Each structure stands twice: as structure tokens, then as C-alpha cells.
Chains A and B, each alone.
Chain A
Amino acid sequence: MKFPGIAGLLLCILSCAVAQAQTPAKIQVRGVIRDAETNEPLVGVSIQEGTPPKPVGVTNENGAFSVMVPANGTLLFRYIGFSDYKVKINSKREINVRLSVNENKLNETVIIGYQRKTRETSTGSTVKISGKDLQDIPVSNVEQLLQGRVPGLNIQNNTGTPGGRGMIQIRGLSNIDVKGNGNDAFLSPTSPLYVIDGVPIEADANFEYGYQSVGPGVSPLSLIPQEDIESMEILKDAQATALYGSRAAYGVILITTRRGSSAVPRVRYTGNFFVNTPPKLRETIGGVEERRLRINQIYNSKNLDDIYRISATPFLADSLNPYYNNSTNWQDIFYRTTYNQSHNANISGGDPKFNYKVDLGYYHENGVIRNTGFDRYSINTNMLYQPTPKLRVLTTLSTQVGKRNKGDGNGLIQNGVSSNANASSLLPGPSFYQSTSSVLSALGTENDNKTANVRTSVDINYQFVPGLNAATFVSYDYSSNTEDRFTPAAARNDFSQVYAYNDRKFTLSNRNMLSYFLSLKEKHNFYIALFNEIQNRGFQGQLIQQEKTPNDQYRGPLGFDGWASRGGGLLDNYSKGHIASFAGTFSYNYKQKYVLDASYRLDGSSGSGFEDPYSKNPSVGVRWNFNKENIFTESSWLTYGSIRGSWGQNIVPQGDIFAIYGTYDPRGTYNANPRLGINFGQLPNTYLKPTTTTQYNFGMELGLFNSRVEVLFDAYYKTVLNLLRNKSVSNMTGFDFITTNETSLINYGYELMLTFRPLPRTAAVNWTISVNGAINKDILTSLPDGARQLVQFDGNTSQHILYRVGRNSLTNYLFNTIGVYSSDKDVPVDPATGLPYRNGGGTSYFRAGDPIWQDVDGDYILTNNDYIAAGNSQPLVTGGLQSSLNWKSFSFNMSASYTAIRDVLNNALAQRMQYLGNPYDPKAIVDFNTVNYWKGQGSSAAYPNPFDYVRYSQIRPYRYDQTLIQEDGSYFKINTISLAYLLDRTFTQRYGLNSVRVYLSSNNVATFSSYSGPNPENVSALGRDQSGGYPIPRSYNVGLNVEF
């Protein structure tokens, strides 16, 4: 027997057959049926018996029942929205059952391609997250709660900045474009397309310029209150996303907000009061200890000039001067614990003919770095109007304002704060009488940054005859971002600065669809739809920067002249785009057993070259629900089972008009005639194509033992073609570079999600535990001009990025640190010249205490030829774990996530060890006792000698471009824990409250990792742990739900 399941199955069948042979004796069975979660009695539950099941009764208004059935029979309880529940009577007289909400993944309704389907008939790979899982933890951006819940959805909450967002990828890398360098190197985000109630949202908006982003930098997702979310659906493969094709190449996440459904108007209030605490800060060496350490270090150099230099360095020598006689805790000046709140009122009501919802939200969070924070005000409404079964009109209107305070940072990173927090403890902290300008800048810069967003849509559906529908959908999304910043004169070298930025962005989209559904004898089901889609987008930003206001109270209006203005005007980030698409989709299923989906799209985009603006995107998917085969219908162990496969293609237009048409610049006048000249920077590419992903997906879904074990498995192979990359061109063309589509990569991987319900359904405790994991490997498959390799050199930290065809797309290109020279004799010697291994072409020979960098080319000189392809900055394995436990009125939920096999560059460690390499520089000395550094001839250590400041600049033992600081960034994190208690309804109803629920929760509870830095998740998308990053706070929350 290969499978124990089959043995069990055979035994089951056998025992059933034996049972049926006996003559049944009828007995009376009584009991009460309740909702497992709320413990409310369920009215009208159908009770069935026998094979095939025949109804024998229903529950009364108290949920109680009493039926006459054979003593050895099986009872089946069936109720809409709940899972079927089967129980063997075995002569029991009383059976109390707690039905749980239908958690059978197969019967979930999913929305794929603007069409509601049961999962049973969908061929794509999707995961649905209920809005319930996204409550109880107040967050500014609901996206972060998805972490670890969906296999293949890699979310790294790598910044704690309020209102910001982390990194999100569906099924691996989709872009390898890195802007900026050093710690600011920024991987272009490839966020999935978000569709909120049918309105597509650009989640990457405001982050396209890397860390140098302008404006308030509020993610559109931060504007959605989590309380308003009914469900989120993550569409992963090409078939599922096919009909969102024009921008769906990175995957699609659908957000459905709440609707009114109750005849009695309901008012739900949710209030959260939470405390954010900064993570454990670095232990620094303060005061006299710091001075002694520095002076000892200088004395140990035995260099008389250096020792004399102490006298010329006041902060070392002048220990009696109150200015230098301090032990300032700089971190404490910038980091704080904050008290925050959020309130949300959701008013809804109506019946199927007319229903409405209004959601009012307020969210207030102060950042753990002073002078930062995020406030959100939102009103989201929708209304459904269905006067006849033929006509249905749904309108939504959402308005949100996000206010974000960035201090003097730029939202994602706070370099000003980090460089100040790294100041020597000997320097005096800010006081009433004096302060340094950088402290004033971080704390005194005034921000008034707003994002205002209006999103509205109308969805009209008309049914001509049964089966034939016409629908039109119009949406308009408008947002305006403004940033007003005033830096006082004292904080900016006596010249105040006024900075005013504003931009406008709009998206207008329209979709018209004609669909027909036909079912022949309930066996052959056909669905065919044709639609077109038009989208129009635009963006323009402006900027004013002025300096030297007369005083800090006068902040404008300021005249324009060359003396005070620091440039601005219209920014060059203007963009305007159009998309026109025509699509058809066809679905067929036979008894919902064999399913076939096919679709075809033509997407024309102004982001594609005008020579070939339309891209053709077909997709096809099949599914086989094998549990419906006759052989399995009687199966007791197989609840459902299906395999599916799909193939399809999606695009994301990436080009802009400058890349396609080139640029003309105004060049002043000649002979009083205005001149226009060609901008010779970028050579236009009229054949530019959108980034295209082609994806194969294979999936399997299994429900075993009455859905007590559910398995969801997917394997995929995704090709990302036509990635845009600038390519330098020969100077004889007259141009500098051209944007081409020659880069491509693949992702392949496996995703597994297991759900267990270990306790029987009758148990008082209802426990669901879900584990998921995904392995994703990306491989670069082509580079411009057929090159095999491209190195993106980094002039700042020298942490170069290697792109080499055939290996992971983003490879760290570093010196390989093997260890530390324990003694001088360990340094290899060139047999020909007799010289020790040295750094560069000079005379900086390595000695004991220096790191051993592998001499790859064997020339006894450390050069660029010794770089190796060292690591992958992208994680290989991601996943999570959720547990949900209900007992009577208590519920306990936990969510965890993990990331494994990822290389993180601990730049923060390197930086603070570098500070030890210059005792004259007033920088913080972080406690280095945890670092196993070299302590003298013959001692073995993992880290080199940081104190040899004389040779420091020649050797740079703590340089960034080495594997010494590359560490494994694997971690396991307990994201959230919540404990809720539902007050007794009979008690609360006495006071007119339908239900009252209180809960305690915590976010970012704990991270377990072998990583030596503070948090392996708080690193950039390229895996660099920059000290300027915004720390991720831990929050403790007390919350309240009241329903009137």
C-alpha cells in the first residue's frame, strides 16, 4: 500500500457496507446547533440523514432540534455559509454541534477578471484573505498585515516610518533596475496592481524616485482604513490576472470594501489605543570611558605626532571644559515612545434592492523618531441600487487625506537623525541655551505634508435576457500631494529655507463589457464576455525652493530672484499615459468537473513605442476537480481535490514618452527666433515594448478529512521579458544612451499552504492553524547586447551589483573575507618579489589583525579582480504561520512570518566599527564587546582589528565591500498576537449594544534571527542594513469594537 489514505478509505467503505446490511432501529436524537465562533444558536439548520441525504428536520428559533433517525445512521447538518457537518449517531441521544463558518477554500467566492466565480471553477492561482484577519492590529498600511499569509507574496516591512510601506513582490523579482548608490541604492519597486472595488490603484506611486522621493511620500494603500476591508484577494498566476492585463504583470491584489447587508442599519465602532516603542537602541560607550578609550588607542600607536595631536583636539584634551565633559545619550534625543489612536465608524444598512455603507476613519500615529508621524482622515462610501433584477447600479466615493511629518528626512530614511545619533557622547546635548544646527534641523524642521485623494466609481449592469449582460464601469482617481517645509535659520547655517512641493495625479478609466452565460442541461456551462478598457493617466509636479527669509516668522510670500531662489518650477517628472485594451474571455465547464478558461487581450499603451503599440496577451487555464469523479464521490477522506494548470501573458507599460519620442529642449533665441534643439541625452526608441511576463502555473488543491486538512500547492515558471534598461551607445550616434527592452529574467518556484483544524468540530475549542511557504529562485536570462555580464559599480560604498546571465539576478560583488590574519607570518608572500600580500598597487601590506581577503587571481595584490559573486540579496524562502483559536467568547490569534536564505549586508556594523578607526573624530562609540575582534598577535578572531587607525585608511579593514559584513538575514518573526473577548450579548443588548468586543494586541512582537544587527528585516530591498533606516517599532494595543 503506497498511501495510508487508501487503506483507510477501503476500511471505511467496508465498514459502511457492513453497517448497511443491518436493520436500522429508529431513535430520537435531540440537540442544539450553535455558531462555533460567536456561540449564537443557529436557526433553520437543515438536518439530513442517509445516503443520499434526505432532510429529516430543521432547527427551531433556539437552534434546537429533535428528529427520529436510525440508531446507526449518520446525521448531516447543513446551513448556508457554514460547512457541512457529519456525525455518526452511534445510539447517542443528544448531539450538540457547533458549526463553523465555511472554511472550505473550494467554495470561496473569488473575483477573477471582473467576474465572480467559485474557486471550484477558477483555473488561476489565487489566495483570499478575509478582512477579519486584518483587524485588531492598528497599522497605517494594511499591506503589512498580509506578511506571511500568502505563499509567494513576499512582503518585507523594511521601514517603520508611519504611512510608508515596505517591499512587496509576488513571485519574486520583476525588475533589476537599481538607482542611486551606496546605502541609498534603491531597487525599483514592482508592487502588484491594487484594485480597490474595481478601481486600479498605483501602489508604487510616490516611490518611483528611490530614497530621494519628493512630496509627502504617502502610499495610496496607507489611505485605506483596515476596518473597511471586507476581503483581499491575491491573484498570482497569469490566468487569474489575465483580464487585468494592461498592468498586471507583477500580480494583482483585489481589495473589496464592506457593503451594507442588514435591513436594520448597523453602526460599528472600532477604537484602538496603542503605544509604539522604539526597538532596543545601540549600547554606546559614554563619557569618560569613551575619552579613555580614544586616548589609549592613540597612545597604543606609539606615534609621537599622534600623541601631540591629542592636545590639538579639544574634545579629547579639554576634559574639564563643560562643553566636552558630557555623557550625552544622543539616541534618546531622537527616539521616543509614542501614544497613538485610531477610530473608525462604519455605518451600513439596506436590503438587496438598496444598500449603502459609510465608513469614517481617523488614524493618528506619532513616529518613534521625533518630529515624524502620520495622520489619516477618511470617508469611504458605497451604495448599491437595484430597482429591478435587471438593473444594478453600484457607486463608490472615497475621500482620504493623509498627513505625514517627515522631519528633515525623506520618509524612508532619516540620515540627519542617524548621523546625529552617531555623535560622540562627549559633546553636549541640546539644551535651553544651545544646540547644534543638525539637531535643530531634525527636530525643528516644520512639515505640512498632505496627500488628498478622491476615488469614485460607477458600475452599471443591465441584464437584457437571462444570461446576457451589459456592464459599464467608470472610475476616477485623483490625488494631490503637497509638501510644505520650513527649516529655521538656526538649523541651516543662518539661512532659513522654504520648500513647497505640489503635484497632481489623475487616473480615469472606463470599461464596457458584454457577457453571455449559457447552461445546457446543467451540464455544459458556457460563459463568454467581450470588453474594452480605456485608461488615461497624468501627473505633474512643481516645486518652489527659497532661502533667506527675513526671519523665522516670515515664511512667504517671497519674491522670485536669483538671490533667494534655489530653483524649482515645473519638475521633469511630467507623465501622461493612455491605455486602450480590447479583450475577450471564454469559460466552459462540464458539470463543474472539467473547466476550461481562455482569454485574449490586445493592449495598446502610450508607454510602448509607436511602431508597435499593441501587445497581444493570451491566456489559457484548465482545471479538473477530480473529487467529482464517480470513484471519489463516496470518499470519506477526500472532501475536494483538483489540479489545475495555466499559461498566460501580462504586461506592465514601463516606458515614458521621452524614451519613445525623444526630447526637444528650448534653447533661447537666435536672431529673435526661438530655437528648439534635440536633447542628445536619450536616443528615442520607437520600438519600446512594455515589460511582459509569461507564466506557467501548475496547482493542486486538496481538502482531506472533511476539510480538516487543506493543501494548496502551486508550482510556477515565470519569464519576465522586455525589462527596460538604459544602454550607453557609441558616441558617434551623437546620443548618450537608449532605453531598450533587452533584459529579461525568470522566476520559478513552489508554493505550499497547509491548513489544519486539529480539533473535531464538536469541540468547544475551535482551532485553525495554517502554515505556508514559498521557494522562489530568480535567474537572469539576458542582458543588453547579448552581454553575459554587467557590473553596476558603486562609487560610494563599492558594494557593486553583479548581473550575470544564468545566476540570481542581483548578486553582491564583494571581496571574500576568509578570516583575520592571526599573526604577521600568516600573510602570504609573493614568492617572486618577497613582498607580502598588499592592498592595491601601493605599499599597504597586510599584517596581523587585518582581514584575509581571498586573492582570487593569485597576484598577491588586492584589486578589483578579486571581487567574487558573493551572495543573493533576495530571499529564497518566505512564508508564514497563522493560528486562530476560539473558545467560547475568547479568541486568540497569532500570525508569524519567516524569511530564509537571504544575504544581508550589515553596513551599520561596518560603519560603527569604522568610527573606531578614527579616534579624533567625534563619533559615537558603540559597544564593541559583542564583536569578536582581533586583540593581538596570535589571537584568532572573526573580525579584524578596528583600532589600528594609523593604517586604517590604507587597509580599511571594515570596508563595506566584503563578505565579512554579509550575513545570513534569515529570520522568524512573530508579527502579531491578539486576544479578544466578546462580552455576553444578553448583557450588552440590555444597554442597546448589539455586541461589544474588547481586545489586546501587539504588533511586531519578536524577531528571532542569528543576524548580528538590530533587525534583519529592517534592511533595504537590496539587503543593505543602513544605519539611517527608520526603526520598526513594537506596538501594544487596546481596542474596542462596538456594534449598535
Chain B
Amino acid sequence: MQRKILTVIIFVLAAAACRKWAPDDLDYLSPRAVYNQKVFSPVMGRTTLYSQIFNTDNSSTPIQFKITNVRYKTTGEPATDLGKPVQTLVWKQAYTGEEKSLAEIDAKRVVETHPAWEIRPNSGEFILWAAADNSILREQPDSGYLFDVEASNSGGKNVYTDLALMPYREQPYAPYEYDAVTGLQRANYPNPSDSSVFKLIYNNPGVQNVTDDETNLGLRSDSVRVLFNRKGDGNSLTFKFMDKDSLPIDPARFNRTAWDTLVHGFNRVTTKTEVRYDVAYPIPLIRYRTKYTNGDGSQAYVKFIWDRVGFGNIRETCSIDFSFSIYRKGDWEIIFFFQHNPRFRDE
């Protein structure tokens, strides 16, 4: 009897101790969490990250993201292009601009396999990897792809439908004087109603304090064209200068130029006609301000300087400068083609 009573007591105690009667602790996924951007038109041939495009509306992180239901926009047929693996360089350590050799730079990045159009699994950000080119993805003017994104955590699942990817054709360098969609050289049409009159667009550097050797007037920026020329598949960058007769100008004429810190390149070779560096591509390697870049680090910045004695025996510092990027690896030449010769001589 005693034991019976004790058993009853123990049982009631245990029963009282067990039950929780409470809702589960689940993550929160806001129904109002959204993508700020739904149409993506990256340029192929360079790694593009769409950063901070998902507004979580204070949902619990991490959220798991997944691309689903990829299809061609034109036909609606399923497509597998976006998931195709590509071999691409990824960074393992931070590029600082202080690296002393190509090897040191290359040690900081490795080749990995990634889907051409990748979604970051926890942030919902998209990456188009540099190695994805028009052999993998359809480029504009094709209408591209539609896809859905599934975002989920233990609090539920949101599906974002009909996000669009419409990549532009590869533009190996910037500024790029060819049209992003057609690939034809861009032009200005002074008279909008007449397409037969036009003026082609060329890249021009900044020109400071340079005198036109013929006219004694200031040299205008559009008197100098910058030409990009890819000669091979190596790892070099060459600067050349040509006068109006397409004859090479000796780089030594640009006597005040800081050749060693002009670009983040190594093994500089200077000849009568050109200056050549071994460089790592792309240029600039990342969007990060270094002594080789412009103010926000978005493009490499070069400046060629010389000085001469001007009128009144005043020393003048003349320069041309240029911001550029090169995305495709190769043996590139950048040619500064003077339509009017600059004056190097003293007055």
C-alpha cells in the first residue's frame, strides 16, 4: 500500500515535470523580405557580385537560398546554363597592392569550380564568375534567363519568382568604345534624325598643360586616342606612344613619369618604343584603393609626366593621365596615339 501511494506520487511528479506546453523556437522568415533588384545585367568576362541585394526585414539569419526553375525567357523552356561549372580564379587572401612579385599575387588566389551564375547560400547575393562567357550563357540581345529563388529557414519558406539574368557580351577592357549589346563601335550622332552623319567614339586620356607642337595652343584631350590591343595570351602590359605620323615616341621623353609605380607590374622593360611590365590580370585586381588606382580603387590609373621650360623661362609640368581596366588576361598594349604632336622641347 505504501509503495502504491509512493508510486502514485512519483508518477504525478513525473507527469508534472514533463510537459512543456509551449510553441517551438523557430526562426523567423518575414513574408516581407524581398530582393531589392530582380533584373540582373552583368557584363560577362569579369566577376560581378550583386552585394546586399536581399532585404531580410529582420528575418533570422542565416537563411538558405537556392536557385530553382531556371528557364529561357523567350520560350520558357528549362535551362541548365546557369548551373554550368566554370573554372575561375577566386581570392583566398586579401590583395593589398603591396605584393612584390607575380608569384605572390598568384599565391593569393586559386582556381576553383563554380556555377557560372552562383547564389551565395546564406546571403542571397548573386555572382557571375569571370570565366562565364558567351559559350556558356546567352548574351544580349537575347532576352536571357528567368529563375526563381527559394529562401528558407526553420521559420518557413519564401519563393521569389521571375528574377531575370540578361548578361551583356564580354567587354575585355574599359573604357570600352564598342556597344554593349551590338559590339559595334559607338558613335555620336550630332543630328538625331540623320544616322549617316556620325562621329565615332574613341577613348581619350586626360591632358594637362600639354602644348600642341604645331599650333602653340593647348593640346585637346580628343587629340589623343587610347587604343587597346591584345597581342597574345601572356601576362603583360605594354605602353606605347605614337605621334601623328604613327611613329613611336620614346617613353624616355616622359621624363618625370614614376615608371616603377605606374602599374602594379613587375620586370619592367623599357625600350625606345615601349614600356613593358609583367602584370596579373584583371587590372586592377580588385576594387581596392592602392597607389596604382584611382581614388575609389575601381580602375587602374596611369599618369605620364614630363617637364619642359615654357615661355618666360617657367618650368612647366605636362602630363597625360588615364583610368582603365582590363578584364581579360593577355599580352595587352595600350597605345597613346597623338593626333597632334605634343611639345617636349624647351622654349
Contacts and interface: CB of A to CB of B under 8 A. Distances in A.
B288 A834 contact: yes
Interface string B15-40: 01101111111101010000000000
Contacts of A746: 21-22
Interface stretch (B53-61, B220-228, B257-265): B53-61
B1 interface: yes
A728 to B, nearest CB: 15
Given A781-B22, A834-B286, A824 B94 contact: yes
A674 interface: no
Nearest to B20: A748
Contact residues on B (Cβ < 8 Å of other chain), bracket: 35 or more
B28 A788 contact: yes
B255 interface: no
Contacts of B95: 834
Given A788-B155, A858-B121, A864-B58, A2 B51 contact: no
Given A804-B25, A857-B122, A831 B90 contact: yes
A332 interface: no
A631 B5 CA distance: 10
A832 interface: yes
B17 to A, nearest CB: 6
Contacts of B12: 643, 698
Interface residues of A, number: 52
**Residue from A700, A748, A833 whose CB has the most chain B CB atoms within 10 Å:** A833
Contacts of A835: 94, 286-288
B125 interface: yes
B63 interface: yes
A859 interface: yes
B17 A827 contact: no
Nearest to B22: A779
B240 to A, nearest CB: 29
A867 B5 CA distance: 52
A56 interface: no
B60 A869 contact: yes
Nearest to A750: B17
A750 B92 CA distance: 52
Interface string A175-212: 00000000000000000000000000000000000000
A88 interface: no
B3 A866 contact: no
A649 to B, nearest CB: 16
B25 A806 contact: yes
Contacts of A715: 13, 16-17
A542 interface: no
A861 B51 contact: yes
B123 interface: yes
Nearest to A868: B61
Contacts of A863: 52
B1 A834 contact: no
Contact of A831 (B23, B61, B92): B92
A791 interface: yes
**Residue from A3, A791, A832, A859 whose CB has the most chain B CB atoms within 10 Å:** A832
Nearest to B109: A834
B102 interface: no
Interface in B65-107: 90-95
Given A626-B5, A789-B28, A859 B93 contact: no
B92 A6 contact: no
Contacts of A845: 94
B313 interface: no
A629 B5 contact: yes
A832 B127 contact: yes
Interface in A867-895: 867-869
A698 B2 CA distance: 21
Nearest to A642: B9
Contacts of B56: 857, 865
B24 A834 contact: no
Contacts of A781: 22-23
A505 interface: no
Contact of B13 (A2, A700, A830, A865): A700
Interface string A1-31: 0110010010000000000000000000000
Nearest to A789: B28
Contacts of B63: 857
Contacts of A833: 47, 49, 51, 91, 286-287
A444 B308 CA distance: 74
Nearest to A1: B3
A6 B3 contact: yes
A858 B124 CA distance: 9
B123 A858 contact: yes
A183 B239 CA distance: 61
Nearest to B15: A698
B6 interface: yes
A440 interface: no
B60 A789 contact: yes
Nearest to B122: A858
Interface in B119-166: 120-123, 125, 127, 129, 155
Contacts of B2: 6, 9, 631-632
Given A629-B5, A746-B22, A835-B286, A859 B58 contact: no
B213 interface: no
**Residue from A631, A698, A865 whose CB has the most chain B CB atoms within 10 Å:** A865
B321 interface: no
Contacts of B285: 834
B89 to A, nearest CB: 9
Contact of A806 (B17, B23, B94): B23
Contacts of B13: 698, 700, 713, 715
A805 interface: yes
A237 to B, nearest CB: 13
Interface string B262-305: 00000000000000000000000111110000000000000000
**Residue from B1, B52, B94 whose CB has the most chain A CB atoms within 10 Å:** B94
B62 interface: yes
A381 to B, nearest CB: 45
A856 B91 contact: no
Interface string A799-830: 00000111100000000000000001101011
B316 interface: no
A445 B37 CA distance: 59
A841 interface: yes
A377 interface: no
A539 B16 CA distance: 44
Contact of A834 (B61, B94, B155): B94
A274 interface: no
A858 B22 contact: no
B346 interface: no
Nearest to B287: A833
Given A789-B58, A859-B123, A829 B94 contact: yes
Contacts of A791: 58
Contacts of A952: none
Contact of B1 (A631, A750, A789): A631
A832 B62 CA distance: 20
Contacts of B108: 834
A806 B121 contact: no
B102 to A, nearest CB: 16
Given A806-B25, A829-B94, A830-B91, A856 B3 contact: no
Contacts of A717: 19, 21
A856 B28 contact: no
The 8 closest A-B pairs by CB, nearest first: A834-B286, A789-B28, A831-B90, A834-B91, A859-B123, A806-B25, A858-B122, A698-B16
6 contacts: A788-B28, A829-B94, A833-B286, A856-B122, A866-B61, A868-B61
Interface of B: 1-3, 5-6, 9, 12-13, 16-17, 19-26, 28, 30, 47, 49, 51-52, 56, 58-63, 90-95, 108-109, 112, 120-123, 125, 127, 129, 155, 285-289
Given A833-B286, A859-B52, A865-B61, 6 more contacts: A791-B58, A804-B25, A805-B26, A807-B25, A831-B112, A865-B56
